[in-house]
Structure formats: C-alpha cells, structure tokens
Structure 1
Amino acid sequence: MLLYVLVAFALFLCIVHYLINENENAQIIKKIPGPKDVFLIGNALEAMVNPVELFALRRKFAQKHNGIYRFWSYPRSVVNIYTPEDIEAVISSPKHNMKGPMYSFLKPWLWDGLLLSSGLKWHQRRKILTPAFHFNILRQFLTIMEENCSRMLNALEATEGKATDVISLLSEYTLNSICEKVIEDRKRYIKDHEGTDSEEVKAEDDTFMTKKKKKVAMLDLLILAKKDGHIDDVGIQEEVETFMFEGHDTTAGGLTFTLLLLAEHKQIQDKVYKEQEVIFEGSQRPSEIEDLSKMKYLECVIKESLRLYPPVPVISRTIGETLKLSNYTIPKGTMCNIHIYDLHRREVLFNDPLRFDPDRFLPENSVGRHPYAYIPFSAGPRNCIGQKFAMIEMKSALSGILRRFELEPVTRQADVVIPADLVLRTTQPVYINFKKRHTSL
C-alpha cells in the first residue's frame, strides 16, 4: 500500500513539474542560456544566498554568458541583459516602460510616484516635474549646495589626520542639499510673528516665500499642478518621497566611489586639482555655475567613476509585448533585468574595463560609442529626471573638497565588498584621509 502511495505521489510531482516547467512559456524561456534547472523548482536554489553572494553570482553569470542569460522558477521568468542593442530594444520603447516586480517592496514608502508609476500616470507626472529640472532652475540650487558643501568642508577639517568615514559624511551632504527646511522656516517665521496683524503677517509671509521660491521649485510645480487638478495631496507626497529616495543615496554613493578612486589614483587627483587651480586661481570662493561648466576633466572623472560603480547597478522592466533579444524570443510579461554594472565592464565596449581611466570620456575618445553602452542614469523615456541636478551636486562637492584637501587612501578598491541591493553600496565604511592643502601644485 505504501509503495502505491509513493508511486502516486511521485507521479503527481512529475505531472506538476511538467505543467509548470514544460509549458510553452517555460520552453521559450529555457532556450536562453542559464543555470542548470532542478526538478520542480527550476533555478530557485540559485537565488537562495545572502546579498553579497548574490551580487557575486550575478557577476559570475555575466562573465560566463554572452550578454544574456535567464532565470526560471515558476511562476517567475527573468531575462538578464547587458548588451547595448538589447538594452536599447527594451528601455527605448514605451511598450516596456512598466517597472519590474523587484521594486514592489518600495510601494509602501514611495506609493505610485514617478519611479514606480507607469502608463498615463507616469507620463503626466513626468510632464509636471520636467520643468523643475531645467538648467535655469537648477543653477539656483547651486547656492544651497555650496552652503552645504562649506559645512561639510568644515567638518572635514576637524578630522584631519584621521581616517574619515566618507559614506556618512556625504550622505548628510546630499540629504541636506535636497531637504532645505523651507516648511520649518516658514512655521518658525509665523510663530515669531504671533500677535501681529494677520494681513501684515500674510503679506510679509508671501514676501518670505517669494525669496525662498528658488529652494522649492519642484514643490511649487506640484502645488500649481494641484490647483489645475492634475495631482492631489497624496500625489505630491509620492513625488517628494520619490525625489528624496532617488536623489539622496544615489548621489552620495557616486561621490563615495569617486573619492575612493581619486584617493587611490594620485596622478589623476593631481590633474583634477590643476584644473581647479586654473579655474579658481587658488581662491576658496564658492563655485558658480560658470565654473562648473569649465570642469571638463572633473566631469570625465565623475563619468568614469559612474561607469565602474553605477549608483543603480540594475534596473528592471516588465516586457510589454513579445520581442527578440539576442535572437531569443522573450514572451510578454517576462521580467527583464538590465545589468548596468556588467554592461559598463564589458571588454568589447571598454578596453581594459577594470582600469580607472577618465580619458575614456574625452570627446575624441567617445566618438562612435553606442548610446546605450554607458547608462549610469538609465536612458530612454524613463531616464533619470535628476541627472543634471546630480552632476551639479557632485561637481560642487568634489571641487570644494579637492581645492582644500589632498586625498590619501585608507580603504582601497580591493577592500570593497558590495551586496546585491537597489542602490550600489558597500558592506563596510569607506575611509579616506583628508590632508589639508597649503600650497598650489
């Protein structure tokens, strides 16, 4: 009797395996190279590792396969791509602009803001917010950035001679650059004028808010959109939370890895400093927007750092309709992970890809590069709306730091351990020595 039960159970498992792992969709997906399948559970065991092991596993698969590999475990089918042609086919088309399921854990925090929304809602929100990131608006934010940079430099002076954890320092800098306490200032202003004629307070408060307007450009646009019926209070909160998330850790991470690389590459650091000396002639004055536009080599340094260490190492989309990637058929509904980290480190795209070489981004060396070979801010319709803001912020911070300090390495690239996460980060602090400069080069 027991034997019959065991045989029946085994037969049942075989039927289940056939139904979930040998159906038409599964057969199409499993034509793509990938890890070896296990009976019934497919590739599920591959992902049952800690975040550090998972990050390393992705790199192993990327080296083993040629631009595309798959993951299958019912009901989830995932295709992973890291060639410019495949990436362009996915993210340049509005048909595939729905974010993948990997972002679902952000829903309770960001709700349905610009990062997570899709379709008409995403299009409307993007249209509302785009003017807030116009260059003429962004240049007004430079004053805020420079004020925060000055506070950061003063904090660094107190750490001279000591190994400094730059992650916490830069995280505070980027957070402050985004979170000007306008609302708190406004409340404090009203409180200080308690007992004053209400009309007088209102008039003076309007003047106060006009002066502060350059600091709340995005919020202004959202409030105007609310008056026109294009967004409600929940929508405003969604977009503020989204901007806080996207513009904080990502920029801090980009700055962290740039400083790490500059500390370890003294010759490149000196070249950046010489450029700063030409622009500022030894002055420690705050940067102006015209100064930032002259920082051509620093921009190459930032771009090369973002190539090696893209702040968002992987982005995900849901395939909206069947398409071909690397000559394989990808069914509608498949989750598509775009591995920016592996794309940027492909030998066929970047010679000696692990070497830190800012000259790659000199104009003459960028000619002919596939437009989707380098996408630290994503690309296509859903590219990062705040990429110009981030570049201004990074230039401002790096200019201030390098004009005042010489960077000496403590933590090195070889020491860095990275876990799988939505934003590229290290498992341990990144330490650098900041030695105050006393003479020009």
Structure 2
Amino acid sequence: MNVTFYTSLAYSNPLCVFWQTKVELVGYVIIIFLSITWCRIKWNRRLIDRFAAKIPGPPSYPLIGSLLEFRGTSQDLVAKMIKLNEQYGPEPCKIWLGSSLALYVMKPEDIQIILNNSNALDKGKFFKFFSGAFGEGLSTAAVPKWKLHRRIISPFFNNSHISTFLSVFNEKSVALICNLQKELNNTESFDIYGYVFTISVDGVCETSLEYNHDVQDNEKTEFLDSMTKFTELVTMRITMPWLYPDFIFNIYGKFTGLNQIYEKLFKFPNKIIKEKKFQYAQKKKTSHSSLNLTKNEKKQRKTLLDVLLEINNEEANFSNKDLRDEVLTVIFGGVESTTITTSFCILMLAIHQDIQDKVYDEIYQIMGEGDRIVTIEDTVKFVYLEQCIKETLRLYPLGAVFMRYLQDDVKIRNYTIPKDTTVIISPIGTHHLPELYPNPWKYNPDNFNPEKVAKRHKYSFIAFGGGPRNCIGEKYAMLFIKVLLSTFLRNYSVHTKCKMSDIKLKFDFIMKSVHGYQVTIRPRERKPTY
C-alpha cells in the first residue's frame, strides 16, 4: 500500500514525470545508436563474416573470439598451436582474435602468395604491441617507413660487408671455448644457453654499436633483463584481448613497472648513440672519412650505427629515436637468433652422436689439425654443418608464428581472402607437415641435402620468413652460428642425457626450450672419427 502511494505521488509530480521521460528518451536513443552501430559494423564486415562462415576453426565467443582456446602458460600456448596444426592442417583454418578475423595457413603454395603480395606487407596491429620498445624499426614499422629503412640498412647485411665481421665472430668463438673450460670436469649437466648468450650479446653489440664488452657491464645486463621482461609482457598481452586497447595496457603497465622497463631498456643504446654521434661530428670536423676507424682493415668494418650515421649525413633524416629503434631491432633479432639456434643445435648434436661425428669429420677435413681461425672459404664448405643448422631451425623455428594484415583482397588457390583479414603463418606448422618432411619430429639433417631441397616447394622452409619482408639478418646469423659451432666442435665433444621426447617448448615471442639446453662437454681429440 505504501509502495502504491509513493508511486502515484511520483507520477503526480510533474518534475518527476519530466525526468523519467527524459531518462527513458536517452535510453531509447542509446539503444537505437548501439543498434545502428552494430548493424553498420555487421554490414561493413559482411564479406569477412561470409568468408569466415565457410572456413573451419576453433570455437569463438563474443568479444574474446577464439583466444579462450589459447589461454594458459607460454608452454601451453605452443602445445595448443601444435594441436591446432594437427587438427586442421594443412588446409587453412580461422581464428578469431577478439573481433578480428585471422586465417591460419600452412601450405607453402599459400604462404608464397601471401608473403610476396604487395597488399600483404603490413604486419598488423599485434606487431604494434612491440612498438613500445622497438618503435618503428624494421620489424614493426608501417610499410612506407619500412621500405625506406630497408633500402638504407640493406647494404650493412650484404655478403661483402658481413664478411668484414669474421674476425669479430672468430674472437667471440674463442672466448666461448675459454669460458667453457670451467665445465670440463663437471659430471653434472649445465645449460649452455647462458654461455652462448653472453658471447652472442658481445658479438652483436660490437658489430652494431662497436660496444666494448669490458666496460658498462651493469648497463648491458640491465638492458638485456629489461628486453626479456618487455617481451614477456607483450606475449601475455597477445593472449588477453582485454589488454588490446593501448589505454588499458598503459594502466596495466603502471602496475607492472612498464615505464621503468622502458627507461632501463633505452638507457644503454641512448648512451652509445650519443657518444657515437659526438665522435662522428668530431671526425667530420677534422675531415676524416669514417667514424673511429683506421685506414686499413677497420675502415671497411663499419658497425650498423656507423652506417646509419654516415647515410644520415648524406641523405636520410634519422632522429635519435629512429637510430635507437633500428639498433634495438637488430640487437634483439641478432642475439636471439644466434643464441637459441646455436644452443638448440648443440643439444641436437649431443643427442645424436652419429650426426655429431659426421659434422666433426667434415670440419676436420676442411680445417685439419691446427688452430687456425675460420675463413669465409671454410664456411662455404661447411655443407653438412649448414644442413644441421637448417634442420634445427626446421624443428624449432625461432618465430612460432608471424602475421600479415591484408590491405586488399588476396586470392590463394580456392579462396579469396577479404581485406582487413590478418593472415597467420606458422613455421612450426609448415615445418612439421608430414607430406613435406616425413617423420617430422625426427632430427634428420638429410632433409636439407640438395636433392631433397630441390624436390620441395621453396616456401617449405620459412625459418627466416620469405618475400620482400623476410629477415634481413639471415646471412649474418648463419655466418656467426657457423663460426661458433665449428670452433666449439673442434675443441669439445658434447653429450647429454636428454632425449628428444624430453624437450618441451614455450613461446615468449621467440620459441625456446622450457628446460634449457642441458649438456656436458669433453676435450676433443684432434683426429677424425672415421
């Protein structure tokens, strides 16, 4: 009765009636606005929805898409990707990344079309998640800026210039041998990753920044720790669509110390860039032709930063941030590719003693008994060693996936993929297709003998990507890895209790072994095994 009384009183009050009517009107306007917006979105993406309806894929839910299927740890993520490959491969399948459609392709024929299409050069919004650290470096830049920077930086990675770093690679390889001596009497296995990582960092920093590893070690360690923490945060963000909006991620970053991570990450390269720019200006005043280089050997051996500063003086207009973005991109890519590939390859050779013996015999036949350093001619002759490296990258590619955002429709075989679709290309998927590689989880360097390579599609092996936007540092990384491995195997034999079935993978932007790379080493007797 009291409720009825107050209700009737409210309706009899003109002011209450006015406000109630106004609230109802606003509510109707909001509902109509949302309905129109939803209809407009559905109309604009009707082609995408129509296309997606024809493609199989894991379950999808409102707002979060298929990402619920990929929740879990970084180890769970790799396991679920492998399961996806087995369930849907080799035909394309769809994955909803929040409300965005992604098409997952594994066949080499499809991959070739995508990677070489001019409308598929953009890496999409997920790579922009890394722009906080790498800015607009080669791996994250929008297409126009990428084209310009790629043209400018490419000469640094040509064969003739990379060969000038051979003395650095040899020096670092000898340092690796010396550092490992403490493990010779150790009967317990150790993780070789840390040793290779230290050497890779020194080699890449010296060739990109002319960094002297005897100084600023605290700054270097702080820099590398920050890079690791940043990649972990971004990898986590990819699987959590509620963190996709930048303003939400920035709020989340305040609680996780993201700004402090950036500060420590930028401190080291900013300091080196500042010093090098000052040196370059001084040299220019005294009319010397190159930065901090002597007239003979060092005049030809220019670091990445040297090249960028010289080109900047002639034609480019790089800001300090542009320089830092490119240096950070090269350091991260160079260190990770060299360290993880070398560590995985050593572990593979430790597990497969017969293959290790065959690699050593090849090295022995080429280099003999002495302790001479590796030459460019030697690296060309390391044919079986290269097969082992490529087979390692086939089994355990550094990048489990990479993406391309379509700026126009692209046709592959029986499909026309609509614009605004993200295409996911998975090396770990393609590299483990049984029709390409029989018994795909077996380590078999003969997969890369010339006869078998000639029979397979060119894009059956995409460890370094493909097309115009492939990895620019492939030759650099392969040369460094060859020198490291050949020097290591001349001095040590490597052993392990680990089996192939013991290896578990995780995805922290780069694919790694969960349990590290546990091995033991023994002094190598300088004679062939045959």
For the 8 Å contact 1:33–1:69, the answer to whether it is kept is yes
Name 1:305's counterpart in structure 2: 392
Q: Does 1:227 align with 2:313?
A: yes
Give the alignment partner of residue 29 of structure 1, picking from 52, 59, 65.
Answer: 52
For the 8 Å contact 1:148–1:176, the answer to whether it is kept is yes
Q: 1:401 to 1:184 in 2, by over 3 A?
A: closer
CA distance in 1, matches of 2:211, 2:362: 39
For the 8 Å contact 2:210–2:303, the answer to whether it is kept is no
For the 8 Å contact 1:167–1:252, the answer to whether it is kept is yes
Could you tell me how far 1:331 is from its partner in structure 2?
1.7
Q: Does 1:285 align with 2:407?
A: no
For the 8 Å contact 2:62–2:99, the answer to whether it is kept is no
Structure 2 length normalisation: TM-score?
A: 0.74
Name 2:294's counterpart in structure 1: 210
Could you tell me how far 1:328 is from its partner in structure 2?
3.1
Could you tell me how far 1:380 is from its partner in structure 2?
0.6
Q: 1:435 to 1:314 in 2, by over 3 A?
A: same
Q: 1:432 to 1:40 in 2, by over 3 A?
A: closer
- Structure 1 stretch 175-184 or stretch 346-355: which is displaced more? 175-184
CA RMSD of aligned residues (A): 3.0
Aligned partner of 1:426: which letter?
A: S
For the 8 Å contact 1:29–1:330, the answer to whether it is kept is no
Q: 1:226 to 1:246 in 2, by over 3 A?
A: same
CA distance in 1, matches of 2:497, 2:125: 38
Per the alignment, in what secondary structure is the counterpart of residue 210 of structure 1? coil
For the 8 Å contact 1:92–1:380, the answer to whether it is kept is yes
Within a 5 Å distance, the mapping from 1:69-218 to structure 2 comes to: 69-72=93-96, 74-162=98-186, 163-180=189-206, 182=210, 208-210=292-294, 212-218=298-304
Give the alignment partner of residue 60 of structure 1, picking from 72, 79, 83.
Answer: 83
Within a 5 Å distance, the mapping from 1:231-250 to structure 2 comes to: 231-233=317-319, 234-250=321-337
Offset from partner CA, 1:27-72 (integer Å, 9 cap, x none):
3223211013346754242133222212111111111113221112
CA distance in 1, matches of 2:368, 2:97: 61
Aligned partner of 1:61: which letter?
A: L
Q: Does 1:45 align with 2:129?
A: no
Structure 1 length normalisation: TM-score?
A: 0.88
Give the alignment partner of residue 439 of structure 2, picking from 340, 352, 367.
Answer: 352
For the 8 Å contact 2:343–2:517, the answer to whether it is kept is yes
Within a 5 Å distance, the mapping from 1:9-28 to structure 2 comes to: 24=46, 25-28=48-51
Could you tell me how far 1:266 is from its partner in structure 2?
0.5
CA distance in 2, matches of 1:184, 1:164: 27
CA distance in 1, matches of 2:460, 2:291: 48
- Structure 1 stretch 128-137 or stretch 47-56: which is displaced more? 47-56
Give the alignment partner of residue 331 of structure 1, picking from 400, 412, 418.
Answer: 418
CA distance in 2, matches of 1:418, 1:17: 43
Could you tell me how far 1:164 is from its partner in structure 2?
2.4
Give the alignment partner of residue 399 of structure 1, picking from 486, 489, 492.
Answer: 486
Per the alignment, in what secondary structure is the counterpart of residue 372 of structure 1? helix
For the 8 Å contact 1:164–1:434, the answer to whether it is kept is no
Q: Does 1:252 align with 2:339?
A: yes
Offset from partner CA, 1:257-289 (integer Å, 9 cap, x none):
111110000111000000111111122221111
Per the alignment, in what secondary structure is the counterpart of residue 52 of structure 1? helix
- Structure 1 stretch 73-82 or stretch 293-302: which is displaced more? 73-82
Q: 1:287 to 1:409 in 2, by over 3 A?
A: same
- Structure 1 stretch 333-342 or stretch 100-109: which is displaced more? 100-109
Q: 1:321 to 1:297 in 2, by over 3 A?
A: same
CA distance in 1, matches of 2:420, 2:387: 38
Could you tell me how far 1:205 is from its partner in structure 2?
11
CA distance in 2, matches of 1:253, 1:389: 15
Aligned partner of 2:190: which letter?
A: T
Could you tell me how far 1:104 is from its partner in structure 2?
2.2
- Structure 1 stretch 126-135 or stretch 155-164: which is displaced more? 155-164
Stretches of structure 1 that go unaligned for 5 or more consecutive residues are 1-10, 192-197
Q: 1:119 to 1:21 in 2, by over 3 A?
A: closer
For the 8 Å contact 2:105–2:425, the answer to whether it is kept is yes
For the 8 Å contact 1:79–1:334, the answer to whether it is kept is yes
Stretches of structure 2 that go unaligned for 5 or more consecutive residues are 1-30, 217-274, 276-281
Q: 1:245 to 1:183 in 2, by over 3 A?
A: closer
Q: Does 1:420 align with 2:446?
A: no
Could you tell me how far 1:99 is from its partner in structure 2?
0.8
CA distance in 2, matches of 1:16, 1:408: 66
CA distance in 1, matches of 2:94, 2:36: 22
- Structure 1 stretch 396-405 or stretch 127-136: which is displaced more? 127-136
Offset from partner CA, 1:113-138 (integer Å, 9 cap, x none):
11111322211111111111121111
Per the alignment, in what secondary structure is the counterpart of residue 424 of structure 1? strand
Q: 1:49 to 1:328 in 2, by over 3 A?
A: farther
**How many equivalent pairs are there?**
421
CA distance in 1, matches of 2:84, 2:37: 25
Per the alignment, in what secondary structure is the counterpart of residue 468 of structure 2? helix
Could you tell me how far 1:307 is from its partner in structure 2?
0.9
Offset from partner CA, 1:276-315 (integer Å, 9 cap, x none):
1111112222111111111111111111111111112211
